[in-house]
Structure 1
């Protein structure tokens, strides 16, 4: 069953650190092959707190999503994300495709 990693950027506070995160996060996807379904495109907040953008990555299953998130490469990239912006990140199980 597919799994989705959802990252919502709530507030940027260091654009240089965020740029380093973006570079390292892109490299961290190598070998994990997530399918980007949304990547900082146009959005509209209908309920809840405001945000600056969102990413949705599709993985084959929860184990694959966790393997990417817990990889050494992403963990290093994540440190720059912490310095650069406030995020909410979660993994959610998807539904079997019809």
Structure 2
């Protein structure tokens, strides 16, 4: 099942470290079949007050998502982001195509 790496980043200090992180991350995703599906972008706010940027990276499964995050290639560039942005990052599995809202009641 598809697994997503989700990042909610705030207080991003743009500069050489973030640029180097952005220049390096795509190469870390490729071996694990990861791809960006959301990477910041303009928001059309409907409710609440969301601050910061949302990033979503899709992986074919949790095993590959976890392997990417733990990979030496990603761990090498990770401090570049950690030192220049505040936020939360987590993995979450998607749902099947036939998922209904009431499935969570089971």
TM-score range, shorter chain: 0.7 to 0.9
- 1:1-98 aligned within 5 A: 1-44=1-44, 46-47=47-48, 50-51=51-52, 53-98=53-98
Deviation (angstroms), 1:35: 2.8
Larger radius of gyration: 2
Unaligned stretches of 5+ residues in structure 2:
99-106
| Structure 1 residue ranges (4+ consecutive) displaced by more than 6 angstroms after TM superposition | none
State how far apart, in whole Å, the 2-side matches of 1:18 and 1:87 are. Answer: 14
Gaps of 5+ in 1: none
More strand by share: 1
Aligned residues, how many?
A: 97
CA RMSD of aligned residues (A): 1.8
